[in-house]
Amino acid sequence: MRHAVIAGGFMLLLAEAARPATLSAAPPPVTADGRVVLRVPLTDDPLPFVGKIARIKPGGVIFLTPSRQPQPDGPARGAPLTEGYYLGLLAGTAQRLDGAQVLRVEVTNLHAEGIVEAKVAPDAAAKLPPRQPVLLIRPQATTAMLKTLPGVLVIDTGPAPHARPAEAEQARIARSVGNLYRIGAALQKFHETYGQFPPARLVGPDGKPWHSSRVLLLPYLDETTLFRKYRLNEPWDSAHNKQFVTTMPNVFTDEPADAAADEARAGFTRYAAVTGLGLAFPPEGAKFDGKYPRGSGIAMHHVADGASVTLAIGTLATEDKILWTEPEDILVDDPEPRLNAQSGFGAPYTSEQGKFALFARLDGGVLGLVESVEPRFLRTLFTIAGSEAVDARKLAAAEVRQIAATQRAATVLYLLREGDQIKARATTELIPGPSAR
């Protein structure tokens, strides 16, 4: 229960879109050197306040206006909003915190119609652009502790402070699970906009593949600026569009932040679409003449087998190299496909069940499958309307328990003590909680 962790402090989250982020009830981990001051897992649960910055006054006074009012009853309400000291996070989204700033905030008044008056350090106020969306949550911290924090902290990204070398693989898996949830959500938003899922590729007027579905999903992955710079009226490898190969969004790599920059510069994606006849992405793609064509992708009503048991996006083997803007994916034309087979989907992760692959489903969920999954059963999960019954026992045997309902990926914000300084770090971890099944 969220109400069980109220401890006098809040968190203020500024985001491009009002994407919820709140606190897990798990206590901070105990580390040998006592470095962890505060641990805040950011998840998708409802919040007590979502709004925008309405006005900024001299001396660090800010006014926030709500964009929605919490329901008076039921779990969607979250913790009540009150006056007190807050921890503030200025960021693009809760999933992209590298370079963001953590602010110490004091809420001083709750005005009529939900307007919130607060104070921040004057230098912090100078960095708050008006009309930015604002989210408020309650971290597990005392008011006394929050009052001792610096006025402004810059967040870096990296491993959890308590992580050991053996846990690096778990962090990589957590990043990949989080990426696939984001990609799955982007597929859902695309479908809401166009009434269909994106084609695997757009075919240009010259009959050649011009653009990948990964590019088409950019506006739904908080990458609108990058999408606007990319020219759909030119092929992916034109002189203009080739420059974006090295600016690959981190959602397409499972590498940690320090290595993700190198991965982004190389431009190789970890994920590819499931393409083939009768699958989520028809291999022929869609013809493109300068305007996105409707009626050229798979719609939800075509998915007779059920979106929750239909795979859409999967992991590549480590040695497979596909540029993220390249209109290239995995063609599944084998009636008995296998994981880690040549030119197939890869199983690059390791668990107690052995090697496994990760897939985003058409319903937005994520499924882990062991490398030894029965080929005919894997084919059943690939088809959208094969009329095959999904054997629950086979699914239970093939599913990676670590990725099942007991855990989900979340961005976790740490405040760490290093000598006489407090620093902020964001990482991705698997935390207890239901997955989107």
In 3D space, the residue among 170, 61, 67, 71 whose CA is nearest the CA of residue 122 turns out to be: 61
For 283, counting Cβ atoms within 10 Å of its Cβ (0-12 exposed, 13-18 middle, 19+ buried), the class is middle
Provide the residue ranges of all domains of the chain, joining segments of one domain with +: 2-157+410-432, 166-404
Closest CA to 312 of 404, 402, 185: 185
pLDDT tens for residues 13-32?
Answer: 444 333 333 333 333 443 44
Q: Which residues contact 137 (CB under 8 A, 6 or more apart)?
A: 10, 11, 13, 21, 22, 23, 47, 48, 78, 79
Return d(Cα 120, Cα 142) in angstroms, integer.
18
**pLDDT at site 31:** 42
Say which amino acid occupies 108.
T
Q: What is the pLDDT averaged over residues 398-416?
A: 75
H/E element, 52: strand 49-57
> Half-sphere exposure of residue 88, counting CA atoms within 13 Å on the CB side?
26
Helix (H, G, I), strand (E, B) or coil at 265: helix
> What is the C-alpha to C-alpha distance for residues 292 and 287, in angstroms, rounded to an integer?
9
What separation in angstroms does the CA of 95 have from each of 208, 317, 384?
A: 35, 25, 31
Alpha carbon of 156 to those of 81, 153, 231, 258, 290: distances in Å? 29, 10, 32, 10, 40
pLDDT at res. 175 = 87
pLDDT top residue among 411 and 408: 411
Residue 180's identity, in one-letter code, is L
Tokens 């309405």 found at: 54
Mean pLDDT, rounded, for 260-278 = 83
Q: Three-class SS of residue 275?
A: strand
Read off the pLDDT of residues 28-53 as tens digits, 9 standing for 90 and up: 443 444 588 888 887 666 666 777 88
Dist CA 82 CA 48 (whole Å)? 10
Q: State the Cα–Cα distance between residues 60 and 349, nearest whole angstrom.
A: 47
Cα separation of 106 and 60, whole Å? 10
In the block, which residue shows the tokens 């800010």? 62
pLDDT tens-digit map of 280-327: 999 999 988 776 655 578 899 999 989 999 999 999 998 889 999 999
φ, ψ at 176 (rounded to 5°): -65, -40
| Residue 178: closest CA among 16, 43, 334 | 43
Task: Give 111's contacts (C-beta < 8 A, 6+ positions apart).
Answer: 117
Note the pLDDT of residue 163: 63
Query: Residue type for 107, please?
Result: V
Q: How does DSSP assign 361-394, residue by residue?
A: ETTS-EEEEETT--HHHHHHHHBSS------HHH
Report pTM. Answer: 0.68
- Per-residue tokens: 382: 């690939």
- What is the per-residue pLDDT for 211? 94
Looking at the chain, the number of H-run helices and the number of E-run strands are 8, 20
What are the Cα distances from residue 170, in Å, to 137, 407, 431?
27, 12, 11
pLDDT computed for residue 184 by the predictor: 95
